[in-house]
C-alpha cells in the first residue's frame, strides 16, 4: 500500500464527513495500466486494503462529482456497487494512476453542500498527491545529481590514476574498486587477452573468494566474458544461471555464487584487449542500464590507459635494450682489433661491418711471438646480443688457450667442447684459424665449417677447406693442413656477408666477383683492394640494406 494513499488528508476527510454527514468511511479506488482495480477503505478506526476487482472498464468521461445513479456504464456500476459506493469524484495524479475518491453509506446525494465540499476535499487530496509526486521527483533528482557528482568525481580520480599509473594491475584494481563502490557490488574481476593467443587470462579478482582464485585462461567466445570479448558488446544479466552463455565452472571451483552480472569489453581501436565484470548488487536488485553505461565509460578510459601503459613499458624496454645494445656494441668493438700488427713479409688489410649494433662476426690477428701469428675469422649463427655474447666467450677462451699452446687441433677440440657446454643447440660458430710462421711463410690451418678462405697465386685458386664441422654442435676429430704462401700470393679470409650480399633481383655477389676483384688488384696495396671490394659489394646491393654482418681480411706475401 503506497504511503501517499494512507496520508493524513484522507483521515481528515473521514473525520469531516463523520462530523457533518455522519459518513463513517471513505473509499479510494485506483487502477494502473492493468485489468485490476484496487481499493483502500478509510474509517475512523483503521485503514484496510480491499479485495481487488478484475475488470476491462476504462473510467473515461467521469465528471468531477457524480452520483452512482447517474452512471449509465454497466461495468462501472458493477464495480461501484461491489464496494457499496454511491458518490464518486475522479482525482488527477501525476503518476498517471487513475484514482477515484468515493463516499459510501446513506447520503443525501441531492445536497449541493455535500457535492461542493466533497469536490473541495477531492481537490485538496489531488494537491497532496501532486506535492508528494513533486517531492519524490525532487528526491530522485537529488539522488541522481549526487550519483552523477559521485560518478564524475570517481571518473576524475580514475583519470588522474590513469595519467600517473605505469602498473596495469594496480590500475585495473583501482578502477574495479571504484566501480564496486559506486554500484554497490559484491565482487568484480578483469581478464586480459593473452598476446598472440585467442585466450583471456584473469588479471584482477576482488570480493569474496578472491584469495582462492587461481589464474586460469578462458577461450575467447566461451562463457559470458568470452562472448563479450568476441562480440565487443556489453551485457547486463539479471540472473546468470538463466543465461545459456554463462559458464558455472568458476563458481564451482571458487564456491562463489554469481547472481546478477554486468560485463563490458575493454577495447582499443576496435581491438579487444580484455573484459571487466561486476557481480551481484548487495541490495539484491539487478544492475541497471545506468550501471552498464557507467562501467562502459570506465572501461573505455581503462582500455586507453592500459594501451598507454603498455606503450610506455614498451618504450622503456626499448630504451633499456638500446642501452644494452650500445654497451654490447662498445664491448665488441674492443675485442675487434683496433690496429693490425706489422708482420714481416705481409701486406695486411681488414674490415668489419656489422649489420646491427652488435654482430656475430669476428676476426683477429694474434701475435704469439716475433715469428708466429694466429689468424682467426668466425661467424656466429644469429645476430644481436646473443651472437655478440657467444663471440666474446669464444674470443676469451681462445686467447686463454693460446697463452699455453699453439697446437691448433688441441685448441679447437677444447674450444668446441667449451662452446657446446656454454650455448644452446641452435647456436654454433663457423670458425677458421691458422698459425702463420713469418720466417717459413707457412700457414697451418683448421677450417671448422667456415666459408673456405681463398688463396690466389697468379691464376691458381685454392680454397682452404681442411678441418671439420662448425664448433659448438658435436664433438669432432678435426684435421689440419699446412700450406706455403709464395711471393705475391694473396689470402682472403671473409664471412658470408660478402659473398651472399643480395641485390634487388635476389642475385648474390658471389665468390667469382670476389676472386675477380682480388686478381685485378694483385699489384695494388691490400688497403686499396679491400676498399674496392667493399665499394663494389655496396654497389651490388644498391639501395638494399645490409642483411648480414660483413668481415674481410686480406694478406699478401711481399
Q: What is the pLDDT of residues 104-121, one digit of tens each?
A: 766 665 677 777 877 787
The mean predicted confidence, pLDDT, of the chain is 83
Same structural domain, 172 and 61: no
Q: State mean pLDDT over 125-143.
A: 72
pLDDT at residue 298, rounded to an integer: 80
Is residue 427 situated within a structural domain?
A: yes
Same structural domain, 131 and 179: no
- Listed residue (65, 71, 74) closest to 110, CA to CA: 65
Same structural domain, 401 and 523: yes
Q: Residue 429 corresponds to which cell in the numbers above?
A: 660458430
Last residue of a domain, one of 312, 344, 371: 312
Structural contact between residues 464 and 450, judged by C-beta atoms closer than 8 angstroms:
no
Same structural domain, 382 and 300: no
Question: Can you tell me the distance from the alpha carbon of 277 to that of 264, in angstroms, rounded to the nearest whole number?
Answer: 7
Q: State mean pLDDT over 394-422.
A: 93
Is residue 142 situated within a structural domain?
A: no
- Listed residue (274, 268, 277) closest to 300, CA to CA: 268
Same structural domain, 283 and 344: no
Is residue 147 situated within a structural domain?
A: no
Q: What is the pLDDT of residues 324-341, one digit of tens each?
A: 667 666 766 777 888 999
Is residue 347 situated within a structural domain?
A: yes
Is residue 307 situated within a structural domain?
A: yes
pLDDT at residue 455, rounded to an integer: 97
Task: Say if pTM beats, i.e. exceeds, 0.85.
Answer: no
What is the residue range of 507's domain?
336-557
Q: In CATH, what number is assigned to the domain containing residue 437?
A: 3.60.40.10
Structural contact between residues 558 and 489, judged by C-beta atoms closer than 8 angstroms:
no
One-character DSSP codes across 467-504: EESPBTSS------EEEE--TT-EEEEE-HHHHT-B-T
* Total residues found in the chain within this entry: 558
Question: What is the side-by-side order of every strand in the sheet holding 47-54?
Answer: 47-54, 36-43, 25-31, 98-104, 85-91, 66-67
Q: What is the pLDDT of residues 277-331, one digit of tens each?
A: 999 999 888 888 888 888 888 888 778 777 777 776 777 777 777 776 676 667 6
DSSP 506: S
Residue 154 has pLDDT above 60, yes or no: no
pLDDT at residue 174, rounded to an integer: 80
Give the number of domains in the chain: 3
Same structural domain, 307 and 430: no
Q: In CATH, what number is assigned to the domain containing residue 229?
A: 3.30.450.40
Same structural domain, 177 and 108: no
Q: What is the pLDDT of residues 15-70, one digit of tens each?
A: 766 666 666 678 888 776 677 888 888 776 777 888 888 887 776 667 678 888 78
Question: Can you tell me the distance from the alpha carbon of 219 to that of 235, in angstroms, rounded to the nearest whole number?
Answer: 18
Same structural domain, 191 and 115: no
Same structural domain, 467 and 543: yes
Same structural domain, 288 and 408: no
Amino acid at each position: 500500500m503506497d504511503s501517499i494513499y494512507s496520508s493524513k488528508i484522507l483521515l481528515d476527510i473521514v473525520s469531516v464527513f463523520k462530523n457533518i454527514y455522519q459518513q463513517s468511511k471513505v473509499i479510494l479506488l485506483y487502477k494502473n495500466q492493468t485489468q485490476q482495480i484496487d481499493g483502500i477503505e478509510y474509517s475512523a478506526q483503521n485503514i484496510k486494503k480491499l479485495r481487488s476487482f478484475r475488470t476491462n472498464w476504462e473510467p473515461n468521461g467521469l465528471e468531477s462529482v457524480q452520483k452512482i445513479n447517474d452512471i449509465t456504464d454497466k461495468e462501472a456500476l458493477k464495480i461501484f456497487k461491489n464496494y457499496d459506493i454511491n458518490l464518486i469524484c475522479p482525482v488527477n495524479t501525476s503518476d498517471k494512476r487513475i484514482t477515484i475518491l468515493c463516499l459510501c453509506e446513506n447520503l443525501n446525494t441531492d445536497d449541493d453542500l455535500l457535492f461542493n465540499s466533497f469536490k473541495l476535499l477531492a481537490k485538496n487530496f489531488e494537491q497532496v498527491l501532486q506535492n508528494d509526486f513533486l517531492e519524490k521527483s525532487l528526491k530522485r533528482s537529488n539522488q541522481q545529481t549526487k550519483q552523477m557528482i559521485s560518478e564524475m568525481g570517481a571518473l576524475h580520480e580514475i583519470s588522474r590514476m590513469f595519467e600517473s599509473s605505469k602498473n596495469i594491475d594496480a590500475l585495473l584494481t583501482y578502477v574495479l574498486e571504484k566501480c564496486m563502490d559506486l554500484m554497490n557490488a559484491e565482487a568484480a574481476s578483469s581478464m586480459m587477452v593473452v598476446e598472440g593467443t585467442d585466450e583471456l587470462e584473469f588479471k584482477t579478482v576482488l570480493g569474496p573468494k578472491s584469495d582462492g582464485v587461481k589464474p586460469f585462461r578462458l577461450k575467447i567466445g566461451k562463457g559470458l566474458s568470452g562472448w563479450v570479448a568476441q562480440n565487443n558488446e556489453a551485457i547486463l544479466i539479471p540472473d546468470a544461471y538463466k543465461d545459456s552463455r554463462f559458464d558455472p565452472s568458476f563458481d564451482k571451483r571458487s564456491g562463489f555464487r554469481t547472481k546478477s552480472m554486468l560485463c563490458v569489453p575493454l577495447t582499443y581501436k576496435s581491438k579487444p584487449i580484455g573484459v571487466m565484470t561486476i557481480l551481484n548488487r548487495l541490495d539484491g536488485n539487478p544492475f541497471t542500464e545506468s550501471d552498464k553505461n557507467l562501467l562502459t565509460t570506465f572501461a573505455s578510459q581503462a582500455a586507453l590507459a592500459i594501451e598507454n601503459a603498455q606503450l610506455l613499458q614498451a618504450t622503456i624496454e626499448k630504451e633499456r635494450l638500446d642501452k644494452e645494445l650500445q654497451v654490447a656494441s662498445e664491448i665488441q668493438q674492443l675485442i675487434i682489433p683496433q690496429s693490425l700488427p706489422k708482420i714481416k713479409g705481409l701486406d695486411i688489410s681488414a674490415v668489419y661491418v656489422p649489420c646491427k649494433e652488435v654482430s656475430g662476426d669476428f676476426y683477429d690477428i694474434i701475435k704469439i711471438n716475433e715469428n708466429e701469428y694466429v689468424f682467426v675469422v668466425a661467424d656466429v649463427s644469429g645476430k644481436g646480443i646473443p651472437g655478440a655474447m657467444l663471440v666474446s666467450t669464444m674470443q676469451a677462451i681462445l686467447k686463454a688457450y693460446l697463452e699455453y699452446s699453439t697446437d691448433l687441433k688441441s685448441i679447437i677440440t677444447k674450444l668446441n667442447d667449451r662452446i657446446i657446454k656454454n650455448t644452446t643447440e641452435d647456436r654454433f660458430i663457423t670458425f677458421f684459424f691458422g698459425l702463420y710462421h713469418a720466417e717459413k711463410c707457412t700457414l697451418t690451418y683448421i677450417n671448422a665449417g667456415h666459408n673456405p678462405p681463398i688463396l690466389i697465386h697468379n691464376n691458381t685458386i685454392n680454397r682452404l677447406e681442411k678441418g671439420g664441422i662448425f664448433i659448438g654442435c658435436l664433438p669432432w676429430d678435426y684435421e689440419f693442413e699446412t700450406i706455403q704462401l709464395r711471393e705475391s700470393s694473396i689470402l682472403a679470409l671473409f664471412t658470408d656477408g660478402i659473398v651472399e650480399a643480395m641485390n634487388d633481383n635476389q642475385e648474390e655477389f658471389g665468390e667469382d666477383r670476389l676472386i675477380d676483384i682480388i686478381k685485378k688488384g694483385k699489384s695494388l696495396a691490400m688497403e686499396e683492394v679491400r676498399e674496392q671490394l667493399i665499394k663494389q659489394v655496396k654497389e651490388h646491393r644498391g639501395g638494399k640494406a645490409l642483411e648480414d654482418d660483413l668481415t674481410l681480411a686480406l694478406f699478401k706475401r711481399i
